[in-house]
Structure 1
Amino acid sequence: MASNRPAQPTSFAADETQSIGYAYGNDEGPWEEWNPTADSVRPVRGRHRVSKQRGGGLARSSTVLGVGVIAAVGAGGMATAAPGKPPVSISLPDLSSVTESAKALISDGGSSAPKGSSTPLTTAGLTTADAAQGSADAGEALRARIMQQAESQQDQVDSAAQEAAETAAAKQAAETAAKQQDAAEAKAAAAKKKAEEEAKAKAEAERLAELAKSYSLPTSSYTLTSTFGEAGSMWSSGYHTGLDFAAPTGTLIKAIHGGTITEAGWAGAYGYRTVLTLDDGTELWFCHQSSISVTAGQKVTTGEVIGRVGATGNVTGPHLHLEVHPGGGDSIDPMAWLRGKGLNP
């Protein structure tokens, strides 16, 4: 229960020595004489003024506080006066509407528009295009423009990504085409090289065939017994310097190629020897003959008989010892030289 504060007791002690109308208090004094009038007893106005709220009304917090005070007083229901006086009953109006209004004020943030209202907040900022599209609310119009701009930016991003993908695909296709072209060119080059090699081999074979027509083996019915380069004490040089065709004595010996007889006669360890010099200067030595059929300075042709197989000189049996001296110099392998002319001993 609320109660009023008790009044402070005031006592005046009468002093017989003072005149009537003067009084002295316990703490102050002496009091002057007071004659009350209508003006002096009129209440003083404006002494306790309530300051005006800035902003044109009660703040939200003040409203809530007032509602709370009213609710507290309503809960008590009675106010108590000073001691010794009966309690005074206070009658309050129904506060349910005030409380609901306060709750709505707090929850809506002070908005005057009812909850769920479709009334636009403001039409400021609306353009002619917004109005043409049916927009009546500036916020909704701004939201629509922002969404449209976001969609436009997304379309640009998608277009850029698609363009990048297409560029990458085109680059990949170009690289693949280049690789395929390189492979095709390499394959064509390899085929061309192979064809050239085959053609060259064929031409060489034809050349040798034609050349073989102008070259022939020195004898027939023979057996190769010693080849070029074999080592042994039988030869003065320490190795065999020619190619031996073993055949019976008297077997015909023929000119391998056309040329001039430069020597024909005895040659010591070579026995009877005939030297045939070709047009390129190569000397062919036919050794160990049993007889000679040509003379020095004589021109012979391919396959012409120049002598017979024998066993004269340093030999172990009848055979033809053939040596090849290019340019009249040191001997070379007769086997390789004959094969180079298309012959196969």
Structure 2
Amino acid sequence: MASNSPAPEGIELQEAPTAGAWGEWNPTEDSARPPRGKHRVVKQRGGLARSSTVLGVGVIAAVGASGIATAQDRPQVAISMPSLPDFGLGGDGQHADAEGAASGTAAAAKQTGIIAQQAAGHADAGATLVGRILQQAESQESAAESQTRAQAERAAQEAAAAEAKAQRETAQKEADDARAAAEKEAKEAAEAKAEQERIAKLAGSYSLPTSAYTLTSHYGDSGSMWSSGYHTGLDFAAPTGTPAKAVAGGKIASAGWSGAYGYRIVLELEDGTEIWYCHLSSMSVTSGSVGAGETIGRVGATGNVTGPHLHLEVRKGGSTMDPLAWLESKGLSV
């Protein structure tokens, strides 16, 4: 059917062939003749091919750029396809076909650009994610190194503290030992000095029982001449009449004849110790108090004896003790 509207300038209109001439009219690329003039109908197949090619390149670029992102994380992209243009042979139809093909190509290019931008965004997001992962790994490694270094430093500090403590304890022990040794030495020196002072003091308070003597029998000597079977005193052999002196200050507890002991004087000291003077030839003091070194009798040979001597016994609490040791403990050199 011929169009009633005037044809645009430069475009020649052609009548479409009737169905009776060629059968059912189906214009194709082979049967449609290109119109003369400035406007030509663009081959639709070539336009679609170019649009598909551009779209495919965009998709490939998007997939390559966002390769580090997973398919599940990639947002879905809506792709719109341009509508197919009308293949009418009218002048307006041919012009519309050309504009439709150009519009489809522009839309495809725009869509490709959007896809490329989205792919670039995914690529940037992927690169950012990789950077964050690397930064996190670096931070974790740095934290692990810091922790290891802190543990090593703490162990070193603990070892140094333990060593310092051991050194302090050793030094303290050595100081304590040295102090204890010094204190012991000082104590021993003080005790020795005190003993010397005591002996010196006692030497002034005590006296030997006689003079010009010879020790003949000692304490503990055994023999049949003693009724107990052993000697219970210390014998000072001296000429008859040699003075017998009080060894320390005290009082006369008894004085008189005592059988085998002959004439005997018992001197009781302040601490209860008894000093027996036996075999005396005479007794000068028989009662009262006497001082150290005072003559209380004289050496003789009365009682059970073999010669003149002073038999001296030291008793305390009814038991005898060694007179020689007792006299020496009082600072006397016998």
- Map of 1:82 onto structure 2: none
> What amino acid maps onto 2:208 in structure 1?
L
CA offsets per residue over residues 243-288 of structure 1, 9 Å max, x none? 1112222222111112222333322211222222223332211111
Supply the distance in 2 between the matched residues of 1:125 and 1:149 (Cα, whole angstroms). Answer: 21
CA offsets per residue over residues 32-79 of structure 1, 9 Å max, x none? xxxxxxxxxxxxxxxxxxxxxxxx9xxxxxxxxxxxxxxxxxxxxxxx
Structure 2 portions without partners, runs of 5+: 1-55, 57-121
What is the 5 A alignment of 1:129-208?
Answer: 139=130, 142-143=133-134, 145-208=136-199
Q: Once the two structures are aligned, what percentage of the paired residues are identical?
A: 58
- Map of 1:281 onto structure 2: 272
Task: Answer yes or no: is 1:125 the counterpart of 2:123.
Answer: no
After superposition, the Cα gap between the structure-2 partners of 1:311 and 1:145, relative to the gap in structure 1 and judged at 3 Å, is same
Supply the distance in 1 between the matched residues of 2:162 and 2:181 (Cα, whole angstroms). Answer: 28
- Map of 2:86 onto structure 1: none
- Map of 2:225 onto structure 1: 234
> What amino acid maps onto 1:150 in structure 2?
E
Supply the distance in 2 between the matched residues of 1:268 and 1:148 (Cα, whole angstroms). Answer: 115
After superposition, the Cα gap between the structure-2 partners of 1:140 and 1:228, relative to the gap in structure 1 and judged at 3 Å, is same
Of the three residues 304, 315, 321, the one matched with 1:332 is 321
> What amino acid maps onto 1:317 in structure 2?
G
Of the three residues 288, 297, 311, the one matched with 1:307 is 297
> What amino acid maps onto 1:343 in structure 2?
L
Helix, strand or coil for the counterpart of 1:218?
coil
Q: What is the RMSD of the two structures over their aligned residues, measured on CA atoms? A: 2.5
Supply the distance in 1 between the matched residues of 2:131 and 2:270 (Cα, whole angstroms). Answer: 112
Q: Which has the higher helix share?
A: 2
Aligned length: 215
What is the 5 A alignment of 1:102-121?
Answer: none
Deviation at 1:140, TM superposition (A): 6.6
- Map of 1:272 onto structure 2: 263
> What amino acid maps onto 1:125 in structure 2?
G
Deviation at 1:330, TM superposition (A): 2.6
Deviation at 1:180, TM superposition (A): 1.9
- Map of 2:203 onto structure 1: 212
Of the three residues 301, 310, 323, the one matched with 1:320 is 310
Supply the distance in 2 between the matched residues of 1:141 and 1:325 (Cα, whole angstroms). Answer: 107
Of the three residues 238, 244, 247, the one matched with 2:238 is 247
> What amino acid maps onto 1:302 in structure 2?
A
After superposition, the Cα gap between the structure-2 partners of 1:234 and 1:160, relative to the gap in structure 1 and judged at 3 Å, is same
Supply the distance in 1 between the matched residues of 2:226 and 2:301 (Cα, whole angstroms). Answer: 15
- 2:251, 2:290 within 8 Å by CA — same for their partners in 1? yes
- 2:255, 2:287 within 8 Å by CA — same for their partners in 1? no
- Map of 1:222 onto structure 2: 213
